[in-house]
Amino acid sequence: MRTIYLKVNRNGLIRKVSIDMAFLSSHNKIRLPKYYFEDGLFLSYRKNPMESFIEDYYLTKDKIKKEDKDFYYFDFPFKVEQVFDISI
């Protein structure tokens, strides 16, 4: 399985944050350490893999499904093949 990254755009620079792929593949949820969470985190995806139109899915506080002492948990409403990564 390939690695998927969350991205955040700050002042024209894009920073990438790696997703815990082992947790994602077994639970179909994004497990994000609390210290990685910040406004503007997003995931680029294609609704239809055959189309070239790319949308961004932002991880916001209202999308948190569960929280524990160290992690936030978000639903992953896509197939891995729909996620579009850019090389930076």
Of 36, 59, 38, 55, the closest CA to residue 46 belongs to: 55
Q: What is the pLDDT of residues 6-23, one digit of tens each?
A: 999 888 888 898 889 999
DSSP letter, residue 40 = T
Mean pLDDT, to the nearest integer, of 22-34?
A: 93
Of the pLDDT bands very low, low, confident and very high (cuts 50, 70, 90), residue 2 is confident
State the DSSP H helix or E strand holding residue 32, giving kind and residue range, or none if neither: strand 29-33
Choose from 42-46, 52-56, 59-63 the range with maximum mean pLDDT: 59-63
